[in-house]
Structures are given as structure tokens and as C-alpha cells.
Amino acid sequence: MSTAVARLDVVAPEEAATAPRASHGRALRSRAIRVTSVLAAVLAWQLLTANDIRLWVRFDTLPTVTEIARALRHQLGTDTYWLDLGQSLIRILTGFGLAALLGVATGVALGRSRLFADVFGPLTELARPIPAIAIVPVAILLFPDDEAGIVFITFLAAYFPIMVSTRHAVHALPTIWEESIRTQGGGRWDVLTRVVLPGSLPGVFGGLSVGIGVSWICVVSAEMISGRLGVGYRTWQAYTIVDYPGVFVGIITIGVLGFGTSAAVELIGQRVTRWLPRAQETVK
């Protein structure tokens, strides 16, 4: 028995020393695979479009990667491109910020207050299945300018995923947490600040992550329909004048912006909830 214990004492430090190196190696390998997959997709696109391949999909009608790269390089040097990008970001951040505040607040209220759930809950369940983009005609009639209408559409798109995720997260909290606070003399405010809000954070950030993605879908669609500036508007304008490389520049820009904002939400969520226990991922 003593020999076995001695061996474990010798091996454990060596394993502890090699664990960080193994984790770093797995991270590098994962990044390399991701970059390779993107490069492979770009190469395949170039080969299919440059050689006018027509299978079930007509790649001969689409621009090549080199044509898209030239159009992107040209647009990066124009003020219009950056103005559109900034306008879309302002709309997203405004609508998503309002949705985050109201979505979390109403989600907590729906999960904690039976009276609020009885009054407000049926209205949200009736409105939730309606696609936000279907409200564009209503937004045009409701608001005095297109800008407010587009922000409103963006707000609606993000609000319901955030609200529903928050409500479910509040409902899923163990009742023993609240009981432990109350047995120590805590009131409603203590339960809210020490149990409800911290405990529901994982669900809240899940809703925020979904909401930011849906917001981009709807803001681009709204810009195509009623906007005068923005990435969506410029992408649709490029299509109307048969500037197909410009269309793909808009698509790439939307993808990069969506990826960046979603990654920012995920990073903030990880930082805010880093006190939670996390399962160690093992990649073989």
C-alpha cells in the first residue's frame, strides 16, 4: 500500500506539469482545424466559380473569390462603407440594449410574480410567435421616421428570446436557495439580488446570445425594406444594380459583424459567470 502511495505521489506532479501543455496543444490544434476549414471552403468556392461549374447549384453565375476580394478592397477605401457599417451597429446596439434591459426585467417579473404573469404573460405569448420582420409595415405606420422603426424591429427581435430564457432560468432556480436566504432573515430584495439574479445569469446570457443573432437577421431585413443607410440597404442596392461582388461584400460584412457581436456577448457571459463550476472539456 505504501509503495502504491509513493508512486502516486511521484507521478501526480509530473501529470500536473504536463496538463497545461496538453491543454495548450489541444487549443492550438482546434484553432488550426477551424482556420483550415474556412480556408478549404474559400478554396472550394474559388475553384467552383472560376471553372464555371454547374451542378445542382449554378456556380457559374456567382462571383469568384478574387472578384469579391477586389470589391471588398475597393469598398474599404470608401466613406460610404464605414458609414453603413456604423449605422447598422448603432441600430443593433440600441435595439439590443433596450431588449436586454426590458427582457431581463420582464423575464424576472414573469418568473417571480403570479399577478404580473397573469396580466402580461398572455400578451407576450400571443405576440411571441409573430416574426419581428412581419411588423415592419406596422413600424412604418407607428413611428415618424424609418430610423426609429428599424430600431423597434431590432428590439422586438431580441426581446422575446431574452425574456423567455430569463423566465425559464428564474423558474429553474432551486427553491432551497430562496429558503436558505429567508431563514437567515433576508427579505425580497435579498432573494432577488443574492439568489434570483446571480442564479439566472447562465440562462440570461443564453438568451442574449440568441437575441443578438436574431437581431442581425431582422435589422438587415428591415434595412433592405425601409432603410436608407446600413449594410442591409447597401447589399440590396448592390443586387438591384447587378453588382454581385458587392452583394457578397455585404454578406461577408454582416457575417463578420454578427460573429463579432455574438463573440462579445459570449465573452462577457463567461467573465460574469466565471464563479460557476464548469466541467472540464476533454478533447481526444
Annotate 177-243 with DSSP letters as a single string: HHHHHHHTT--HHHHIIIIIHHHTHHHHHHHHHHHHHHHHHHHHHHHHHH-SSSHHHHHHHHHHTT-
Is 127 in a helix, a strand, or coil?
A: helix
The string of DSSP codes covering 77-102 is TSHHHHHHHHHHHHHHHHHHHHHHHH
Mean pLDDT by 10 residues, the chain (284 residues): 46 55 76 89 88 82 90 91 92 94 94 90 89 83 84 92 93 82 79 83 91 90 81 90 91 91 90 70 42
How far is Cα 87 from Cα 56, in angstroms, rounded to an integer?
38
Give the pLDDT confidence score for residue 205 in this predicted structure.
Answer: 92
pLDDT of residue 27: 78
Predicted local confidence at residue 158, as pLDDT: 93
Q: Count the neighbouring beta carbons within 10 Å of the beta carbon of residue 265.
A: 20
Please give the pLDDT value at position 18: 63
Let me know: does 223 contact 232? Beta carbons within 8 Å. Answer: yes
Please tell me the distance from the alpha carbon of residue 265 to that of residue 82, in angstroms, as a whole number. 23
pTM for the whole structure: 0.80
- Per the CB < 8 A criterion, the answer to whether 36 and 28 are in contact is no
| Torsion, CA 85, CA 89, CA 90, CA 92, rounded to 10 | 140
Q: List, in order of start, the domains of the chain with CATH numbers.
A: 17-62 (no CATH), 67-272 (1.10.3720.10)
Q: How far apart are CA 274 and CA 121, in angstroms?
A: 32
